[in-house]
Amino acid sequence: MSDQSESTGGLTFDKSKRNWPNELNVFGALILIVIIFEILGAIFMGQSLLFDTNDRFESIFNEARLRIIIIQVAIIGILALGVTQVIITAGIDLSSGSVVGATAMIAMSFVQVAEVNGGPNPKAIFGPAFLDLPVLVPVIVGISVGLIAGCINGLLVAYSRIPPFIATLGMMLFARGVAQWWSLGNPVSFPTESYAKIGAGMMPVIIFLSLAVLFHLIMNYTVYGKHTYAIGSNEAAARMSGINVPRHLMLVYMIAGGLAGLAAVILTSKNLTAQSGMGLSYELEAIAMAVIGGVSLFGGRGSIIGTVIGALIIGVITSGFTFLRLGAFYQEMVLGCIIVGAVALDQYQQKRAAMRA
């Protein structure tokens, strides 16, 4: 502290304290993981993971695999966008996977066709008045169910001061129960053709990326985003600064719920059926994407870009293990290590930053 000049009275600028965007670290990790798979691929499989080595495609990339990587994370990625915002407020949302399950069952019931193979729909949940409805109905129903679940989470967390872990754990069990009760465990199937288009082909990816851009802008350039970071950073300061913290938390949990509802709509549209077990453990994968992407479980730090890269990391690892013909159990072991590693790294950086200040 002796080298500080008197003119600034202890306010000299230390270049090492400049902010280095954490997203670059996460992106570096993504590149590193890709390189590891490329090397393993070259040694054991004699081919590349991401690049086109057999001249099957027009570009230099293996387009088919790139597409698979992003499609398989797109739907959970949509959940992760909401979960990211919740975690930035220093909360957690364990309910998103179950909300997907419940919403899938309910939304799908509003989109069934009247006739299947010439006969009446054997899986119809409601009477004839609810068959062959316009596509907007199930979409609105789906998002609304998600919003209601998020609203309840928000009320519990913001107004009754129940810890987010417990409140959303309760919602997780409750929503899974709703999913099973809705049709007593039977799948809901046979959606209309227009509904099937929502999740067809690359649509989940387009929706995921559009939402990612939208929420990136919201988190960085709007009052909503600023207050979300402020609450996660120092809730007492946020309250003293006049931010209506409970109302804001309500909004954050509702957005997370609404995104879970939308994810359910896309998932059922893609699979053409809804089952009560849908979305099982999605909440954990969504949290993993956020955490790997540098979102701090202590709140205040993290970004949508980070989470998107986190999602890609999970996508690359999943595809990479399939590519190396290794069983799914190895994949889960490695993912477990990476999640713990990411949090440990975050802790270490936090501690170092605190020591420097």
Partner 1 sequence: MSDIILETKGLTKHYGGVHALQDADFVLKKGEHVAIMGDNGAGKSTFVRQITGVEQRTRGTVIFDGDEVNFAGPLDAREAGIETVFQTLALADDLNVPDNLFLGREKTKLNWLGPFRLLDYKSMREDTMAGLVKTGVKIPNIKNTIANMSGGQRQCVAIARTATFASKLTIMDEPTAALGVQETAQVENIIRTLKEQGESLILVSHNMRQVFDLVDRIIVFRRGRMVANLRKEDTDGQDVVAYITGAKTGAEYEGAA
- State the minimum distance, in angstroms, from the CB of residue 342 to partner 1: 18
Cβ atoms of 295 and 302 closer than 8 Å: yes
Neighbours of 196 (CB within 10 A): 16
Which residues in the 279-338 window bind partner 1 by CB under 8 A?
300-301
Of 123 and 216, CB closest to partner 1:
216
Which residues in the 336-355 window bind partner 1 by CB under 8 A?
353-354
Give per-residue burial for 29-68: e unless 16+ CB within 10 Å, then b: bbeebbeebbeebeeeeeebbbebeeeeeeeeebeebbeb
H/E element holding 60?
Answer: none
Task: Please select the residue that binds partner 1; options are 3, 8, 54, 129, rule is CB under 8 A.
Answer: 8
Token match 């896309």: residue? 266
Tell me which DSSP letter residue 114 carries: S
Residue in 35, 18, 15, 19 with CA at minimum distance from that of residue 27: 35
The answer to whether 129 contacts partner 1 (rule: CB under 8 A) is: no
Residue in 93, 130, 139 with CA at minimum distance from that of residue 264: 139
**SS3 at position 119:** strand
CA 65 to chain centroid: 21
- State the minimum distance, in angstroms, from the CB of residue 293 to partner 1: 16
Neighbours of 320 (CB within 10 A): 23
**SS3 at position 116:** strand
The answer to whether 20 contacts partner 1 (rule: CB under 8 A) is: no
- State the minimum distance, in angstroms, from the CB of residue 89 to partner 1: 12
H/E element holding 144?
Answer: helix 136-154
Number of chain positions touching partner 1 (CB under 8 A): 39
The answer to whether 11 contacts partner 1 (rule: CB under 8 A) is: yes
Question: Using CB under 8 A, which of the segments 11-19, 145-153, 196-204, 314-322 binds partner 1?
Answer: 11-19
- State the minimum distance, in angstroms, from the CB of residue 281 to partner 1: 30
Site string for partner 1, 209-248 (x = CB under 8 A): ---------x--xxxx-xx-xx-xxx-xxx-xxxx----x
Of 74 and 251, CB closest to partner 1:
251
- State the minimum distance, in angstroms, from the CB of residue 3 to partner 1: 12
- State the minimum distance, in angstroms, from the CB of residue 249 to partner 1: 12
Report the interface residues with partner 1, using CB under 8 A: 1, 4, 7-13, 17-19, 218, 221-224, 226-227, 229-230, 232-234, 236-238, 240-243, 248, 251, 300-301, 353-354, 356-357
